[in-house]
Amino acid sequence: MDFNIIRIARVVMNVTDLHASRDFYVNALGFIETAATSEWMALRGLEEHSHHSLLLKKADKPGVHVVSYKVWEDSHLNELESLFKGKGAKVLWKDADPAVGIGKTLCVEDPSGIPLEFFVEMESVERCIQKYDLYRGARIQRIDHINCMVPDVEGAVKFYTDELGFRVSEYTATEDDRTWAAWLHRKPTVHDVAFMNGEGPRLHHVGFWLSDPMSLIHCCDVMASMGYADNIERGPGRHGLSNAFFLYVRDPDGNRIELYNGDYLTSDPDFKPIKWDINDPRRQTFWGHKAPDSWFNEATSFLSLEKGEPVELKGPTLAQRKPDFVT
């Protein structure tokens, strides 16, 4: 392939109240606010030099506009356009938007119906990794991954590996060796994107990297002290898949954020995907405690590129199982 997708770079999603979102994301979780208007707010982690990794837009209802990947150079955008047009996908170019610091973007919908965005340039801003006086809440460092519920995991994995150059790090297989969920990466960690079997396409969560496990614990204390204890949905705990330390929280609109630390390097060319049996309960929570039903059933709708309406949902091609066995 004649393009190089570097990593997951940003998510653009709706919130209904920017003031409430600022209190949650900036004061409780510890994001840096790069810029804001009465209509949107751009946030980044402490180590990020890009203008933002999370763009929150004021709207009447929650919804995800795009998930964005950074690519190496402009010619790669043209190669991606050719690829998606060849697959009969919707393609839309957007001009640079200096207000939010992003250059021209290529917007497409993948075979699952997920709205994707590819870009090369984003305004560079000050890294705050050594501004320890700004460390608050979870001390968010950078965006790490997204997790999506899709009706056909195997089809999604095939497209991302065969056509976009992603590699599988870990996956869950059913008794008849069907892929139930998979973790795929471009950067040399466990994943930039994960696909889970379920009604979709929907965004399950956005994961942000933290510098150490104690940042998750400290975030729980901060959230509780600020009145956000009920927004803690799952964890702290450790995944079997990825080996990561995790905490799942819900923002005031129900959007799910994972605070994440402790996975591993996947850069070696001879690295082989790790297979998990769907009946092994350690894969989702290594310590054994179960996730709440909301974690399996609730997710945020994607919005179509052209009309901005919720993308039509489809049922999974693999039969659903009881929540105790879903990954």
5-119 and 144-325 in the same fold: yes
Sign, CA dihedral 104-108-110-112, equals: positive
Contact between 311 and 201 (Cβ < 8 Å): yes
Minimal CA–CA distance to 280: which of 248, 325, 313, 315? 325
Contact between 202 and 302 (Cβ < 8 Å): yes
Residue 133, φ and ψ in degrees, nearest 5: -70, -15
| pLDDT tens, residue order, the chain (327 aa) | 799 999 999 999 999 999 999 999 999 999 999 999 999 999 999 999 999 999 999 999 999 999 999 999 999 999 999 999 999 998 999 999 999 999 999 999 999 999 999 999 999 999 999 999 999 999 999 999 999 999 999 999 999 999 999 999 999 999 999 999 999 999 999 999 999 999 999 999 999 999 999 999 999 999 999 999 999 999 999 998 899 999 999 999 999 999 999 999 999 999 999 999 998 888 878 888 888 999 899 999 999 998 899 999 999 988 765 444 333
Q: What distance in Å separates the CA atoms of residue 195 and residue 184, rounded to the nearest whole number?
A: 8
For 132, the token pair is 């320890």
Contact between 76 and 82 (Cβ < 8 Å): no
Query: Could you tell me the residue ranges of all domains in the chain?
Result: 5-119, 144-325
Instruction: Write b or e for each residue in 104-132: b if 16 or more Cβ atoms lie within 10 A of its Cβ, otherwise e.
Output: ebbbbbbbbbbbbbbbbebbebeebbeee
Q: What distance in Å separates the CA atoms of residue 114 and residue 132, rounded to the nearest whole number?
A: 37
Rounded to two decimals, the pTM is 0.95
Task: Note the CATH architecture for domain 144-325.
Answer: Roll (3.10)
Minimal CA–CA distance to 190: which of 287, 80, 264? 264
Residue 97, φ and ψ in degrees, nearest 5: -125, 90
Strand 202-209 with 300-301, pairing:
antiparallel
Kindly give, in sequence order, each residue whose CB lies less than 8 Å from that of residue 134, ignoring residues fewer than 6 positions away: 32, 46, 128
DSSP run (H or E) holding 83: helix 74-86
5-119 placed in CATH 3.10.180.10: yes
User: How many CA atoms within 13 Å lie on the side-chain side of 2?
Assistant: 10
Instruction: Write b or e for each residue in 35-62: b if 16 or more Cβ atoms lie within 10 A of its Cβ, otherwise e.
Output: beeeebbbbbbbbbebbbbbbbebbeeb
pLDDT for res 68: 98
